[in-house]
Chain A
Amino acid sequence: MANLKLQLLTELLKILPEAGIIQDEETLRPYECDGLSIYTEMPLMVVLPDSVEQVQKIIRLCSRLETPIVPRGAGTGLSAGAMPHREGVVVSLAKFNRILSIDADARQARVQPGVRNLAISEAAQEYGLYYAPDPSSQIACSIGGNVAENSGGVHCLKYGLTVHNILALEVVTAEGDILRIGNQGYDSCGFDLLSLYIGSEGLLGIVTEITVKLLPVPETTKVVMATFDRVEKAGDAVKQIIAEGIIPAGLEMMDRLAINAAEDFVHAGYPRDTAAMLLCEIDGMAEEVDEHIARVSAVFNKEKAGCIRVAADENERQRLWKGRKAAFPAIGRISPDYYCMDGTIPRSQLTKVLTTIQSLSDIYQLRVANVFHAGDGNLHPLILFDANVAGELEKTEEFGGKILELCVDAGGCITGEHGVGVEKLLQMPYQFDPASLEQFQRVKLACDPQRILNPGKGIPQLKHCQEYRSLSQASVGRHADK
Chain B
Amino acid sequence: MKTDLHPRYQNTTLGAEAETILRSCVHCGFCNATCPTYQELSDERDGPRGRIYLIKQILETDQATARTELHLDRCLTCRACEATCPSGVEYGRLLDIGRGVIATKTKRKLRERCFRWCLKQVLPRRTLMVWLVRLARWLQPLMPAALQRKIPAGQKPGVLPVKQHSRRMLLLQGCVQAAATPNTNAAARRVLDRLGITLLEIREVGCCGAVGYHLADHGDGKYWMRRNIDAWWPLVEQGVEAIVVAASGCGAMLQDYGRIFRDDPNYAEKAAGISHLIKDLSCVIGAENLHGLALDTSKKLAVHCPCSLQHAMGEVESLEKLLKRAGFDLARVAEKHLCCGSAGTYSLLQPTMSQTLLDRKVQALTQDTPDLIVTANIGCQLHLASGTEVPVLHWIELLDQTSH
Residues facing A in B24-67 (CB within 8 A) are 24-34, 42-45, 49-50, 53-54, 57, 63-65, 67
Contact across chains for B43 and A26 when beta carbons are under 8 A apart: no
Q: Does A27 contact B (CB under 8 A)?
A: yes
Q: A38–B23 Cα gap in the complex (Å)?
A: 13
Residues of A within 8 A of B27 (CB): 33, 35, 37
Q: Does B155 contact A (CB under 8 A)?
A: no
Contact across chains for B42 and A114 when beta carbons are under 8 A apart: yes
A118 (CB) vs chain B CBs: closest residue: B33
Q: A264–B88 Cα gap in the complex (Å)?
A: 9
Contact with B along A322-361 (1 / 0, CB 8 A): 0000111111110011100000000000000000000000
Q: Which of A26, A35, A326, A331 contacts B29 (CB 8 A)?
A: A35
Q: Which of A95, A137, A139 contacts B84 (CB 8 A)?
A: A139
Residues of B within 8 A of A97 (CB): 42
Q: Does B68 contact A (CB under 8 A)?
A: yes
Assuming the contacts A27-B67, A29-B53, A30-B54, asked whether A137 and B1 have C-beta atoms less than 8 A apart, the reply is no
Contact across chains for A333 and B42 when beta carbons are under 8 A apart: no
Q: How many A-B Cβ pairs are below 8 Å? A: 112
Residues of B within 8 A of A76 (CB): 28-30
Q: Does A22 contact B (CB under 8 A)?
A: yes
B61 (CB) vs chain A CBs: closest residue: A26
Q: Which of B3, B23, B42, B64 contacts A26 (CB 8 A)?
A: B64
Interface size on A, residues (CB 8 A): 42
B43 (CB) vs chain A CBs: closest residue: A48
Q: Does A307 contact B (CB under 8 A)?
A: no
Q: Does B369 contact A (CB under 8 A)?
A: no
Contact with B along A96-131 (1 / 0, CB 8 A): 010000000000000000101010000000000000
B56 (CB) vs chain A CBs: closest residue: A29
CB distance from A352 to the nearest CB of B (A): 30
Contact with B along A399-414 (1 / 0, CB 8 A): 0000000000000000
Residues of B within 8 A of A430 (CB): none
Contact with B along A348-392 (1 / 0, CB 8 A): 000000000000000000000000000000000000000110000
Contact with B along A18-37 (1 / 0, CB 8 A): 00001010110111010101
Contact across chains for A332 and B30 when beta carbons are under 8 A apart: no
Q: Which of B3, B67, B87 contacts A332 (CB 8 A)?
A: B87
Assuming the contacts A139-B30, A329-B85, asked whether A29 and B54 have C-beta atoms less than 8 A apart, the reply is yes
Contact across chains for A331 and B45 when beta carbons are under 8 A apart: no
CB distance from A99 to the nearest CB of B (A): 14
CB distance from A238 to the nearest CB of B (A): 25
Assuming the contacts A35-B28, A332-B26, A333-B24, asked whether A92 and B42 have C-beta atoms less than 8 A apart, the reply is yes
Contact across chains for B49 and A30 when beta carbons are under 8 A apart: yes
Residues of A within 8 A of B116 (CB): none
Q: Which of A30, A262, A265 contacts B53 (CB 8 A)?
A: A30
Q: Which of A26, A37, A327, A331 contacts B68 (CB 8 A)?
A: A26
Q: A295–B352 Cα gap in the complex (Å)?
A: 58
Q: Does A140 contact B (CB under 8 A)?
A: yes
Q: Does A74 contact B (CB under 8 A)?
A: yes
Q: Does A94 contact B (CB under 8 A)?
A: yes
Contact across chains for A336 and B23 when beta carbons are under 8 A apart: yes
Residues of B within 8 A of A328 (CB): 26, 28, 86
Assuming the contacts A27-B45, A48-B42, asked whether A74 and B86 have C-beta atoms less than 8 A apart, the reply is no
CB distance from B85 to the nearest CB of A (A): 7
Residues of B within 8 A of A458 (CB): none
Contact across chains for A38 and B2 when beta carbons are under 8 A apart: yes
Q: Which of A24, A30, A137, A331 contacts B50 (CB 8 A)?
A: A30
Q: Which of B30, B42, B54, B71 contacts A137 (CB 8 A)?
A: B30
Q: Which of B24, B30, B42, B88 contacts A140 (CB 8 A)?
A: B30
Residues of A within 8 A of B25 (CB): 332
Residues of A within 8 A of B384 (CB): none
Q: A327–B28 Cα gap in the complex (Å)?
A: 11
Contact across chains for B28 and A137 when beta carbons are under 8 A apart: yes
Assuming the contacts A27-B54, A33-B27, A37-B1, asked whether A332 and B89 have C-beta atoms less than 8 A apart, the reply is yes
Assuming the contacts A337-B2, A387-B2, asked whether A27 and B88 have C-beta atoms less than 8 A apart, the reply is no
Residues of B within 8 A of A37 (CB): 1-2, 26-27
Q: A326–B31 Cα gap in the complex (Å)?
A: 12
CB distance from B83 to the nearest CB of A (A): 11
Contact across chains for B33 and A139 when beta carbons are under 8 A apart: yes
Residues of A within 8 A of B86 (CB): 262, 265, 326-330, 332
A122 (CB) vs chain B CBs: closest residue: B334
CB distance from B86 to the nearest CB of A (A): 4
Contact across chains for B64 and A336 when beta carbons are under 8 A apart: no
Chain B interface category by residue count: 35 or more
Residues of A within 8 A of B68 (CB): 26-27
Assuming the contacts A97-B42, A140-B33, asked whether A329 and B2 have C-beta atoms less than 8 A apart, the reply is no
Contact across chains for A74 and B32 when beta carbons are under 8 A apart: yes
Q: Does A75 contact B (CB under 8 A)?
A: yes
Contact across chains for A329 and B42 when beta carbons are under 8 A apart: no
CB distance from B231 to the nearest CB of A (A): 37
Assuming the contacts A37-B1, A38-B2, A116-B33, asked whether A94 and B26 have C-beta atoms less than 8 A apart, the reply is no
Contact across chains for A94 and B2 when beta carbons are under 8 A apart: no
CB distance from B199 to the nearest CB of A (A): 32
Contact across chains for A329 and B87 when beta carbons are under 8 A apart: yes
CB distance from A137 to the nearest CB of B (A): 7
Residues facing A in B77-112 (CB within 8 A) are 84-89
CB distance from A182 to the nearest CB of B (A): 26
Q: A35–B87 Cα gap in the complex (Å)?
A: 14
Residues of A within 8 A of B57 (CB): 26, 29
CB distance from B18 to the nearest CB of A (A): 14
Contact across chains for A74 and B29 when beta carbons are under 8 A apart: yes
Residues of A within 8 A of B31 (CB): 140
Q: A141–B25 Cα gap in the complex (Å)?
A: 17
Residues of A within 8 A of B88 (CB): 264-265, 332-333
Q: Which of B23, B30, B53, B67 contacts A329 (CB 8 A)?
A: B30
Residues of B within 8 A of A75 (CB): 29, 44, 49
Contact across chains for B42 and A94 when beta carbons are under 8 A apart: yes
Residues of B within 8 A of A140 (CB): 28-33
B60 (CB) vs chain A CBs: closest residue: A29
Contact across chains for B3 and A337 when beta carbons are under 8 A apart: no
Q: A22–B44 Cα gap in the complex (Å)?
A: 11
Q: A52–B43 Cα gap in the complex (Å)?
A: 18
Contact with A along B197-239 (1 / 0, CB 8 A): 0000000000000000000000000000000000000000000
Q: A141–B43 Cα gap in the complex (Å)?
A: 14
Residues of B within 8 A of A265 (CB): 86-88
CB distance from B305 to the nearest CB of A (A): 18
Residues of B within 8 A of A114 (CB): 42
Q: Which of B1, B44, B65 contacts A336 (CB 8 A)?
A: B1
A77 (CB) vs chain B CBs: closest residue: B29
Residues of A within 8 A of B44 (CB): 30-31, 75, 92, 94
Which residue among A95, A141, A329 has the maximum number of chain B CB atoms within 10 Å of its CB?
Answer: A329
Contact across chains for B26 and A331 when beta carbons are under 8 A apart: yes
Q: Given contact pairs A26-B67, A38-B2, enumerate 20 new A-B contacts (beta carbons under 8 Å).
A: A26-B64, A26-B65, A27-B67, A30-B44, A35-B29, A37-B26, A76-B29, A94-B43, A137-B28, A137-B29, A141-B29, A262-B86, A328-B86, A329-B26, A330-B87, A332-B26, A336-B23, A337-B1, A387-B1, A388-B23
Q: Which 5 pairs of residues, A with B, have the shortest CB-CB distance?
A: A332-B87, A326-B86, A387-B2, A30-B50, A94-B42
- Residue positions of B touching A, CB distance < 8 A: 1-4, 23-34, 42-45, 49-50, 53-54, 57, 63-65, 67-68, 71, 84-89
Question: Can you give 13 contacting A-B residue pairs, CB < 8 Å?
Answer: A29-B53, A30-B53, A37-B2, A74-B32, A92-B42, A92-B43, A95-B42, A137-B29, A265-B87, A326-B30, A330-B86, A330-B87, A337-B26
